[in-house]
Structure 1
Amino acid sequence: MIFRFLFFINFFFSNFAIANSDFVEGVTKTEIFFGQSAALTGPAKSLGLNMQKGILSAFVEVNNNGGVNGRKLRLKSLDDHYEPETAIKNIYHLIDKEKVFSLIGGVGTPTSKAIVPIIKKSKKLYIGPLTGASFLRSSHVNTVVNIRSSYFQEIKEMVLRLKNDLKIKRIAIFYQNDSYGIDGLNALEKSVKEINKGLKIVSRGSYLRNTMAIKTALLNIKKAKPDAIIIIGTYSPAAHFIKWSEKLKIKSKLFLSVSFVGVSELAKKLKNSKSLVFVTQVVPFPYNKKGRLLKNYHRAMKKIKSSNKIGFVSLEGYIVGRIVIEALKRAGKKLTNKSFKKVFKSKKSNFNIDGLRLSYTKKNNQGSNKVFLTRIFKGRVLPLKNLKAFYKKIK
């Protein structure tokens, strides 16, 4: 009797183990679930909402064609208000409660810095965060898959253009006083040191995240009389700073910022500004339909009735979604975390997304090194090749 009982117990648990050996969190026979924590409300909400729309447009596009290996892709998005503490709660919920397969499209440096250790412990991937922070490219190569260029690459391009195209040497920086802004400050200091040639950072001013407290920084920067001001922040405080610079008749009428600022929203807020405002970008100019990538992007955004969200951030989200789709195809129908990660670490970790090429290796988790230039003019965003045309305007 005891022998039969033990045999039954052994048989039951052996079969249970076999049945569950194929179980992968976030993956069913018909669906794959992804999680996103991003700013969906608050001063940086446009970044989170547009990133979400871009990813969704790619997911809906593939779902309408049967999904990936017979599975539809689902996205669960939670609002973190661009605050690290909330992002931590969201990630625990997405991993422990929602049981998502992977994390995708997070927004911001401070939030990413808070959640990456949690994601690393879960052994899941964090794909396509909207940030160029250096720590995501060095310390977390096996956890993070970056799509975009780094802030250092963006800022070095700015400094080169200021020096070579405009012959400017005196630079000030206005930055968000957290890991995002400090990463930008470090990138500027490193760029100035590398390029040298008489370049000098004459003033540094900061503000608190999710606030408009720019007064002290602005007054200090004004005293230094810089020729150009680099802004490392989000669109609302950046616009506020530029408008008040004009009101206080600060010497510099030249402002530059990185892609994370959210150029579309910044342009709207600076519709009546007479300052020269330039923003670096990490994806192609999205407002036309030249080439397969942009044609497919516009079509996908139209499908989810989000044509009004066309812009750099939603295009980045679309590219993130497309990279995920291609990686899932390569990982095969018997999808596991291991097979998914291997896609980004094999010798064939090269991606061609409708002409946009990205590549990864075991030691390099950054897909693209491209940096583009844009200008804000009368509420519009225009593409640029360099800043040479503006030399006479600032002299």
Structure 2
Amino acid sequence: MKKGIRRFGGYKFCFVAAVLAGIAFVIPAAWAEDGVTDSEVVIGQCAALEGPAAGLGTGMNVGMKACLDEVNAKGGVNGRKIKFIASNDGYEPDKTVDCTLNMIENEKVFALAGYVGTPTAKAALPIVQEMKVPLVGLYTGAGLLRNPVSRYIINIRASYDDETEALVERIVSDLGIKDIAVFYQDDSFGLAGLSGTEKALKKRGLKLAGMGTFARNTEAVKGGLASIMAAKPGAVVMVGPYKPIAAFVKEAKAAGFNPVLATISFVGTENLIKESGDAANGIIISQVVPSPDDTSIPVVRDFQAALKKSFPNEAPSYGRLEGYVTARVLATALEKAGAALTREGLIDAIESMSNADIGGMSVSFSKDNHQGLNKVYMTQVGGGKAKPVAKVARP
């Protein structure tokens, strides 16, 4: 992994820059960037399309494809069709590095989009910063991608701090529970969720009641469950993808351990409900997009229509809607960047978007803010479905 990144530093980077500078006068403006021709712009995605977190990556992928199919059917952006290339990284950072380098070096993408996960995004961060390739719309709310602001990282969804603040507020205010523990994936993603929960508790003069962990891409939850049970909390905030969280939920129920359970959007709502069965009832889930069934919102109506056309056998879901929203923001920015498309021009266009309407949802960016949305929506599982709620209730 480190060797791959170093190839872009030092003499090779300087040599490439010198060569480009020496021949720049013979390259037409429209061809000055990789991944851009008069008729096409190429976007790449590295995500978990296979493996235990595949539901998350395929959700984003399907939603993005549905949106980009819709855009291309209308003529594309500024006369260019958007070509979308996706590759599996298995939710493993080392594979993300390889995938990202391949997208930039071999596939010659113009920009990257739709990455899934904090540890994977963290691995890609130094590459896109050094190569100055935009990475737009990541399926993660980690603070390390937001503070400090990186010019080439564009977040669309609310942060994990936003989500955990909303969850703690509902648990404390609606249920009167103040002893809250955290069960989290033992990596940068889990630590981001843990940190957000601790911040929300500290804001209310509270401390963490207990914690337990599990390893990424495993369902080894028994040790973490035992640690949580020993603390006897009234509620548990769970931070992980659907398979280990479902395993935790089912193991807890089987052990007669019944605190209020809550989790953040990354979990993969529909996958969690399917994996957990009846044990999912009562789980509180924060969301970063509105209900995929709420057709009173124009972007949701558009999403449903696009999904039905491109993927008639796929049902609307929170993850697919987030993918659609991500691609719509990207397409809007590409249009705004103009016909003489450059990577720097794309970033400038995004930073100039203030209260930009994407269909009943408004996104705002600036040089000092690379997170377009802040709103968190609350849901609670009942009858096999995550239902939007203003207040949460005890199961």
Q: Distance in 1 between matches of 2:92 and 2:344?
A: 31
Deviation, 1:72, is 0.3
Residue 291 of structure 2 corresponds to residue 282 of structure 1: no
1:76 maps onto 2:82 in alignment: no
Structure showing greater radius of gyration is 1
Give the whole-Å Cα distance in 2 for the aligned partners of 1:15 and 1:188: 52
C-alpha distance in 2 between matches for 1:125 and 1:156: 29
Is 2:311 aligned against 1:302? no
Partner Cα distance (1:329, 1:257) in 2: 36
Q: Which of these residues, 374, 383, 389, is aligned with residue 384 of structure 1?
A: 389
Question: Would you say 1:311 and 2:317 are equivalent positions?
Answer: yes
State the 1:200 CA deviation: 3.2
Among 344, 359, 366, the alignment partner of 1:361 is: 366
Change (3 A) 1:370 1:307: farther
Distance across 2 between alignment mates of 1:115 and 1:140 = 15
Secondary structure in 2 matching 1:99 = coil
Return the alpha-carbon distance in structure 2 between the equivalents of residues 371 and 130 of structure 1: 14
Give 1:73-222 correspondences, 5 Å limit: 73-196=82-205, 199-222=206-229
Q: 1:49 aligns with which of 55, 58, 63?
A: 58
Preserved contact between residue 270 and residue 379 of structure 1 (Cα < 8 Å): no
**How many Å separate the matches in 1 of 2:87 and 2:296?**
34
| Other-structure match for 2:4 | none
The secondary structure found in structure 2 opposite 1:210 is coil
Secondary structure of residue in 1 paired with 2:381? strand
For 1:141 and 1:383, the matched residues in 2 are separated by 33
* CA distance, structure 1, for counterparts of residue 233 and residue 83 of structure 2: 49
Separation (CA, whole Å) in 2 of partners of 1:143 and 1:265: 31
**Partners of 1:120 and 1:143 within 8 A in 2:** yes
- Is 2:228 the counterpart of 1:228? no
The CA distance in 2 between the partners of 1:306 and 1:117, in whole Å, is 38
Amino acid at match of 2:112: L
Paired residues, number: 374
**Equivalent pair of 2:281/2:383 in contact (CA under 8 Å):** no
Please report how far the alpha carbon of residue 111 of structure 1 lies from its aligned counterpart in structure 2 after TM superposition. Answer: 0.0
The question of whether the paired residues in 2 share the 8 Å contact of 1:225 and 1:251 is answered with no
Call closer, same or farther: CA 1:124–1:212 in 2, change over 3 Å.
same
**Contact persistence 2:281–2:381 (CA under 8 A):** no
Distance 1:14 1:186, change over 3 A: closer
For 1:338 and 1:37, how far apart are their aligned partners in 2? 22
Would you say the 8 A contact 1:259–1:280 is kept in 2? yes
Q: Aligned partners of 2:190 and 2:24: how far apart in 1?
A: 49
- What is the distance in 2 between the residues matched to 1:266 and 1:228? 18
Please tell me the residue identity of whatever aligns with 1:331.
A
Distance 2:21 2:125 in 1: 35
Alignment RMSD (CA, Å): 1.7
C-alpha distance after superposition, 1:197-249 (max 9, x if no partner) = xx332211000000011111111111111100110001011011011101111
Give 1:294's aligned amino acid: V
- The whole-number CA distance in structure 2 between the counterparts of 1:293 and 1:318 is 9
Residue number in structure 2 paired with 1:4? none
Percent identity, aligned pairs only?
Answer: 37
Structure 2 residue 278 is the aligned partner of structure 1 residue 272: yes
Counterpart-to-counterpart distance in 1, 2:344 and 2:28: 13
Q: Secondary structure at the match of 1:272?
A: helix
Give the drift of 1:306.
4.4
Report which stretch shifted further, 273-282 or 362-371: 273-282
For residues 24 and 14 of structure 1, what CA distance do their matches in structure 2 show? 13
- 1:76-103 superposed Cα distances (whole Å, 9 cap, x missing partner): 1010000000000000000011110001
- The normalised TM-score by structure 1 is 0.91
Could you tell me how far apart the structure 1 residues matched to 2:168 and 2:349 are?
Answer: 36
Unaligned runs of 5+ in 2: 1-19
In structure 1, the residue matched to 2:3 is: none
Q: Quick one: structure 1 residues 145 and 306, their matched pair in 2 at CA, closer, same or farther if it must change by over 3 Å? A: farther
Kept in 1, the 8 Å contact 2:198–2:207? The answer is no
Secondary structure of residue in 2 paired with 1:276: coil
For residue 344 of structure 1, report the CA deviation from its aligned partner: 1.9
Letter in 2 for 1:323: V
1:145 is matched by which residue type in structure 2? I
Structure 2 length normalisation: TM-score? 0.91
Farther-moved stretch of structure 1 (146-155 vs 285-294): 285-294
* 1:326-345 alignment, distance < 5 Å: 326-345=332-351
